[in-house]
Structure 1
């Protein structure tokens, strides 16, 4: 009675499952035709296995006889493969239980896992939360770009995929929980996949003189890992034309080059672990755009601005990252991290805009032709020393960090603003012809010491003290290029010589209670902050001090091995920044003045989040519900006043008599259907925002509500048709207390499908289809419909199918809609930019793999 009966297919993937009744009988219904392996298991009995072939007729089995393990002469090893497990606060997927095609990558596998989604641009979402870290065996691999890992690590080399929320790096290093949680994916490789060489190289050429080339190669040797990557294309930094994707539109005229290397190894008999990476990239872009913006002001006033713009930029960046973890002895560990960056940027921007008041009266014209070049460098060094003080678990953590940033820039400013009177007649012009020299420096040093004491086996206490101080310098010398005055003259309105000083002293308390089912974490930081600001150009000498108290609580309860519940609360106090306190800030143009407010007080934020996860191990289904809400009291907002000629003067104020708050909820469900071939998942989300802001001096209450409902389906087993389909519908409601005639409710929907047809002779046809509909609004009476289709024909070559030749066509019907709209707080915008959406490419890709993932005989 209750014996487990399982049917595995030829790939050892569970297809059908049942249990024997009280008489030992069992029935598997609606079994598809094919060859299977029948397994019957029961605790303390041997495993029964038998190959069977299922045809059209009902199959009656003979009596299944199983023997007690006590009668066996040899040891019996039972390997159990469960698709999804919950281990504490970690969701673990068995990679072998989810089919992918040959030579598939981690990205393809992640799309198959219930509760996970991967966008066309490579962003990962897990249980409704954005994934910020992708680790390989617990370590960052090319940490500066997680997309490198998911698009290059082979799916057949992966044993497990773990999804969990980790503490922030600051909390992990210091031992004091700051309440920040980062959604993380950790990929556990198979033992045999930790040694070998793998990678890929691809090149594509197309019409419009397009080209794209990429290289990735890695060598794994147990503890040593070496990887190199390179890219060069004129399609933008998300080029990667080796694989057809959505959102392959080429914006402007881009050029992108990058090269990187990653090295990881253990030394000194595994006492020293080193991880390092270096990356260089050169990204340039020339672009043209036009935009329309309508601002709804008080007193039945509207302001419309149209703008045409052309821009060019060239960015070069060098990034070095290194981390050394050294186990000094059985009691002490040392962790050293170094991050450094050096970059250079050149840019130019031309634009002209016109502002109209109440749809018929010209307020101003603005014309600019600016250019700049800048050099930046920064370095961040962190040192952590941990030592266990006794056998009971008492420990000490000492943390030191230092950081410096330098940035120098030179800008040529050529701007002209024409103002008009209330009847639209020309009034005056303001011309700015300047050379601006900017120097920014920032030096910071901090330290902390924490002691951890296990009070009981389940209760742990950490207390600590932290200190940091920083000094920042900001020098802007704006010289008017006045030839008649005999040369450049300093314009103090657009200049500053500012020095900022800050000091923080904090007392930390962290309490953790842990049992098999319950985990409670409570942390609190009370700090005293001193701020000092001086500007010799404007005779400003300001100093302030603030008390801050940040409280974080997190409770995780494991209802069972397949259910978990998490409740979190954060209370944080945010003090005004230097720029918000500074009475007068140098403007960037004549149309905008930003003033600070030295009388600002701190704002406080309360956030509550709830998460529920449930998995059925037998059905391989998952249910995830997460909800969060936050309240901000005494919020610091920007209060702007727009005069009759469209010039804005803004200052910061506290909203003391109202509370800004928002709430959101995400629900997603996933389960395999059709005998596990298809991963199916409905999802839903709700968002509501209640926000107070000032519009032209008057307080406006803005309410925004979003509701979304959709389904997804994914199949990837290289048989007949593979697909990844998402269909969603939604409503957006925007309401303001100022000029309520513009309040609006709009309907939207979207459908995107990634289809792959497996054809004879190792051919395959891929099809990308995207359609979206955005309903009309009171400002934009015409809805926006978006449709495009991309297709790709590929042919696999070689016996290993590692070489692919492809022909790709993007936006086949030349139907891409280049209009983008946005709305919020009585501001409505529509933009268009230079974009190439229809083009074709011929490509060749080679996947190489030596030994990786292959077991020895």
Structure 2
């Protein structure tokens, strides 16, 4: 059921349509078709805020052209020949805008600086029409969800709304993903929103102010301005608010305390007046326990406002502190041609991190030009102390006791500048950009090791005590520059079609200087440098990309086809060797970027990209890294850069009647000259074996991945079922004793989720099965498989107007890990009471992991090694929290 408000007859839309058709009739007789024209404009409301997603109609002679305003409220029409035209702009919640225009003799371009829409104020009697909203629309690079189609409760945040949307996942920590990719940028009504921190603001903004949710394949503001979209896109979340809800004051204050010395303090406040945004945040807690026990504190402030028409400036500062106390169990299996090495280790560490980030940004978007400049800096300080006890068995039998302490200092500075310009000829544009960054990573390590050697009869042969002091400094400077130019091609009679030829050039130069000094104390306590374990190594990576492509844009079909030529050169030199290392690579790859909308409900897209990657400095440095005496690492200065070919094919479908959605994705990648490890077994002085890791270039690495999601709402969206799955086949390569080793890795997951959304009761249940298999070519017939079943149930029941009960239950069944692992059942409960007349206060009692069965088990795969890791956690505790939310949206703009 859809509710509309009836207009008085003298102000009805019928008169607008009659007037608009009269303008059309007049224009069709007054046309003087001479040259091609271009019309641009920006649509705003009476409060000077842009209106995105507005429908714009242009009548030029016998042609009717349509457009939709972008996230900046801009629309563009080009290629029409009529001198007299009519314009109609319509958007929900605003009065229609109609006007006719006349191009002067010889005038080619006309810019309507501001098209102002007035809020619809003559809404009177309510009329009820039986019908059904369209839940989802697909518009080129955008999926649009109609928020009115989904159930929200009084205190729901945007993250609660996102959890209902098919194809979008929001985990327990507030991280949002779609099609397997994270939502990396946030905008509201097409404008940058505070710090664009998706995780923070979807937990603060109330769902009630949202009219539409848009998931956009974003190629950046420069690409949006010029139309030249290349490379991989990022997923951007754009929230379109309800009429008049684009300003307000919101924030919250939270105080919590509980058992096991758990506590939490949080406060944030935000003033939002359209383009003017002022926000601050602070927090302190020790309730985040994924890997060890953390104590964290943060503070930040940000400011954004328009300096003048089209010019926006912003500044932000953020501070973070994190203290971690961690105990870890590791079980590692390393496969070699001679056998398997097993390593079980216990470690304990304490670390403290301090980070500072500051950023300034200025952006200008005008009719024909775009400008953006930013400057940022960061400083990270880290102190760490740790103890490790490692027992190595199998092919090599050794014990290692290690104590270490390290101090790390990492200052960095970066700046960028982007400029773009639309030329007089419609469709002709150019842009240029420069990025400069510089960073230093300074590390001081104090390593105290005791290594015990055993013979083949497991008898202790020798103890070796090794103390080392390591000073390392890595300096990296990077400069990138790019230039793009687009030339429109002659168009045919169909003015909705645009054709361009695009030229682009990209330049990147990175220089790295790494110094490593290893010192030991002599018998009288003086330190001296070990020359064989010290070096000064410098490298430079020069990368260029020349590209030309043909770009076609129509109402439903958009594609770019072309070629790139990518030369790269890696050079290096280290002290003590006067011979310079130089490797030149030349790669040729296609440009393919295609999007086809079969309808408003179906979209195909395919993107191919090719990229070159230089080896890391530690992979190049030809000096032993003795941080782990059981596996010494030695770099290879003769490494070449690698090149990755990757492609992604997606299909998205929405059923207009039922609201069901189907999303499919297929991706693949092939890596040429991938940098891989070569684990070599060498005889030591006791006629036993020791490991050394070297690096080589190798071919043969590739992956094929797929995912699907099918969601079906029913019973007026009170219920929703979703079936989701992934399948990945990864061919990983490495060397073991100079023999090529292939690891065929298969990952499969299948999930079924069911959700019920009622006004007083919400329930979500899911069952997920995951399977992972690794088969090594050098150890035939021995598989390493992991299987996991996970069952989740969560619900929220409103006991009355002020009380609600929340429950979260999960059961995991594991098999295949090398560490002993339980099959935990986690039960979390909370009771909430809403306080005060304005209902903005909440008092809650929370109980976590009632059965005290929580554990954290992770598997990682690296070349010819598989590691299972488990951390200490405090999972069972009770917490009492008081939260006060401040939210006032839609108030009038202060003058």
Q: TM-score, normalised to structure 2's length?
A: 0.80
Is 1:407 paired with 2:441? Answer: yes
2:608 is matched with which residue? 569
2:332 maps to which of 264, 288, 293: 293
Q: Is the Cα–Cα contact under 8 Å of residues 388 and 395 in structure 1 kept in the other structure? A: yes
- Decide whether aligned partners of structure 1 residues 815 and 806 sit closer, same or farther in structure 2, where only a CA change above 3 A counts: same
In 1, distance between residues paired with 2:541 and 2:863? 34
Residues 268-347 of structure 1: pairs in structure 2 closer than 5 A: 268=308, 270-299=309-338, 301-327=339-365, 330-347=367-384
**Superimposed CA distance per residue, residues 419-466 of structure 1 (whole angstroms, 9 cap, x where no aligned partner):** 233333334444332322232222222333322211145111221333
In 2, distance between residues paired with 1:763 and 1:687? 45
Tell me the SS of whatever aligns to 2:852.
coil
Q: Is the Cα–Cα contact under 8 Å of residues 535 and 623 in structure 2 kept in the other structure? A: no
Is 1:200 paired with 2:252? Answer: yes
Q: Is the Cα–Cα contact under 8 Å of residues 627 and 665 in structure 1 kept in the other structure? A: yes
Q: Is the Cα–Cα contact under 8 Å of residues 804 and 844 in structure 1 kept in the other structure? A: yes
Q: Where do 5+ consecutive residues of structure 1 fail to align?
A: 1-6, 13-73, 237-248
Give how far 1:810 is off.
Answer: 0.5
1:387 is matched with which residue? 421
Q: Is the Cα–Cα contact under 8 Å of residues 639 and 695 in structure 1 kept in the other structure? A: yes
Q: Is the Cα–Cα contact under 8 Å of residues 550 and 573 in structure 1 kept in the other structure? A: no
1:87 maps to which of 139, 153, 162: 139
- Decide whether aligned partners of structure 1 residues 131 and 787 sit closer, same or farther in structure 2, where only a CA change above 3 A counts: same
- Decide whether aligned partners of structure 1 residues 630 and 407 sit closer, same or farther in structure 2, where only a CA change above 3 A counts: closer
In 2, distance between residues paired with 1:290 and 1:314? 21
Q: Is the Cα–Cα contact under 8 Å of residues 273 and 893 in structure 2 kept in the other structure? A: no
2:500 is matched with which residue? 460
Q: Is the Cα–Cα contact under 8 Å of residues 514 and 538 in structure 2 kept in the other structure? A: yes
Give how far 1:837 is off.
Answer: 0.9
Q: Is the Cα–Cα contact under 8 Å of residues 89 and 564 in structure 1 kept in the other structure? A: no
Q: Is the Cα–Cα contact under 8 Å of residues 176 and 510 in structure 1 kept in the other structure? A: no
Q: Is the Cα–Cα contact under 8 Å of residues 142 and 149 in structure 1 kept in the other structure? A: no
2:697 maps to which of 647, 654, 675: 654
In 2, distance between residues paired with 1:563 and 1:661? 30
Is 1:166 paired with 2:251? Answer: no
1:221 is matched with which residue? 273
Q: Is the Cα–Cα contact under 8 Å of residues 705 and 734 in structure 1 kept in the other structure? A: yes
Is 1:766 paired with 2:806? Answer: yes
1:501 is matched with which residue? 540
Tell me the SS of whatever aligns to 2:163.
helix
Tell me the SS of whatever aligns to 1:647.
strand
1:70 is matched with which residue? none
Give how far 1:823 is off.
Answer: 5.8
Give how far 1:281 is off.
Answer: 0.7
In 1, distance between residues paired with 2:563 and 2:153? 49
- Decide whether aligned partners of structure 1 residues 10 and 732 sit closer, same or farther in structure 2, where only a CA change above 3 A counts: farther
- Decide whether aligned partners of structure 1 residues 128 and 435 sit closer, same or farther in structure 2, where only a CA change above 3 A counts: closer
Give how far 1:227 is off.
Answer: 1.6
Q: Is the Cα–Cα contact under 8 Å of residues 496 and 586 in structure 1 kept in the other structure? A: no
- Decide whether aligned partners of structure 1 residues 110 and 509 sit closer, same or farther in structure 2, where only a CA change above 3 A counts: same
Give how far 1:177 is off.
Answer: 4.7
2:778 maps to which of 738, 742, 745: 738
In 1, distance between residues paired with 2:473 and 2:544? 29
Q: Is the Cα–Cα contact under 8 Å of residues 493 and 586 in structure 1 kept in the other structure? A: no
Give how far 1:125 is off.
Answer: 2.1
1:421 maps to which of 436, 447, 455: 455
- Decide whether aligned partners of structure 1 residues 669 and 250 sit closer, same or farther in structure 2, where only a CA change above 3 A counts: closer
Is 1:591 paired with 2:630? Answer: yes
Give how far 1:771 is off.
Answer: 0.9
In 1, distance between residues paired with 2:5 and 2:287? 40
Q: Is the Cα–Cα contact under 8 Å of residues 309 and 350 in structure 1 kept in the other structure? A: yes
In 2, distance between residues paired with 1:604 and 1:471? 19
In 2, distance between residues paired with 1:11 and 1:647? 81
Give how far 1:368 is off.
Answer: 1.5
1:352 maps to which of 389, 394, 415: 389
- Decide whether aligned partners of structure 1 residues 375 and 731 sit closer, same or farther in structure 2, where only a CA change above 3 A counts: closer
1:370 maps to which of 404, 410, 430: 404
- Decide whether aligned partners of structure 1 residues 277 and 77 sit closer, same or farther in structure 2, where only a CA change above 3 A counts: farther
**Superimposed CA distance per residue, residues 479-531 of structure 1 (whole angstroms, 9 cap, x where no aligned partner):** 212243x6110112332212223333432324321111111023543233333
Number of equivalent positions: 764
1:263 maps to which of 303, 307, 311: 303
Is 1:727 paired with 2:767? Answer: yes
In 2, distance between residues paired with 1:187 and 1:277? 22
Residues 76-155 of structure 1: pairs in structure 2 closer than 5 A: 81-143=133-195, 145-155=197-207
Is 1:469 paired with 2:512? Answer: no
Q: Is the Cα–Cα contact under 8 Å of residues 190 and 238 in structure 2 kept in the other structure? A: yes
- Decide whether aligned partners of structure 1 residues 446 and 635 sit closer, same or farther in structure 2, where only a CA change above 3 A counts: closer
In 2, distance between residues paired with 1:9 and 1:784? 54
Give how far 1:285 is off.
Answer: 0.8
- Decide whether aligned partners of structure 1 residues 297 and 406 sit closer, same or farther in structure 2, where only a CA change above 3 A counts: closer
Q: Is the Cα–Cα contact under 8 Å of residues 606 and 631 in structure 1 kept in the other structure? A: yes
- Decide whether aligned partners of structure 1 residues 666 and 701 sit closer, same or farther in structure 2, where only a CA change above 3 A counts: same
Q: Is the Cα–Cα contact under 8 Å of residues 141 and 262 in structure 1 kept in the other structure? A: no
**Superimposed CA distance per residue, residues 200-222 of structure 1 (whole angstroms, 9 cap, x where no aligned partner):** 11111001221001112111112
**Superimposed CA distance per residue, residues 360-389 of structure 1 (whole angstroms, 9 cap, x where no aligned partner):** xx7212121111212221111111122223
**Superimposed CA distance per residue, residues 626-651 of structure 1 (whole angstroms, 9 cap, x where no aligned partner):** 11122234433211113465532222
In 1, distance between residues paired with 2:540 and 2:876? 53
1:830 is matched with which residue? 868
In 1, distance between residues paired with 2:458 and 2:864? 24
2:571 is matched with which residue? 532
Out of 590-599 and 405-414, give the one that drifted further: 590-599
Q: Is the Cα–Cα contact under 8 Å of residues 495 and 586 in structure 1 kept in the other structure? A: no
Q: TM-score, normalised to structure 1's length?
A: 0.83
In 2, distance between residues paired with 1:93 and 1:210? 39
Give how far 1:81 is off.
Answer: 4.5
- Decide whether aligned partners of structure 1 residues 505 and 746 sit closer, same or farther in structure 2, where only a CA change above 3 A counts: closer
1:631 is matched with which residue? 670
Tell me the SS of whatever aligns to 2:726.
strand
Task: Please report the RMSD computed on the Cα atoms of aligned residues, expressed in angstroms.
Answer: 3.0
Q: Is the Cα–Cα contact under 8 Å of residues 175 and 182 in structure 2 kept in the other structure? A: yes
Give how far 1:806 is off.
Answer: 0.7
Tell me the SS of whatever aligns to 1:468.
strand
Give how far 1:545 is off.
Answer: 2.4
Tell me the SS of whatever aligns to 1:472.
strand
Tell me the SS of whatever aligns to 1:235.
coil
1:693 is matched with which residue? 734
1:681 is matched with which residue? 722
Q: Where do 5+ consecutive residues of structure 2 fail to align?
A: 7-124, 492-497
**Superimposed CA distance per residue, residues 96-138 of structure 1 (whole angstroms, 9 cap, x where no aligned partner):** 2211111211100101112211111222122343333233333
In 1, distance between residues paired with 2:658 and 2:689? 62
Out of 271-280 and 785-794, give the one that drifted further: 271-280
**Superimposed CA distance per residue, residues 687-719 of structure 1 (whole angstroms, 9 cap, x where no aligned partner):** 222233223443333222233222112234432
Tell me the SS of whatever aligns to 1:112.
coil
In 2, distance between residues paired with 1:540 and 1:77? 83
Give how far 1:347 is off.
Answer: 1.0
In 2, distance between residues paired with 1:339 and 1:646? 49
Q: Is the Cα–Cα contact under 8 Å of residues 280 and 300 in structure 2 kept in the other structure? A: yes
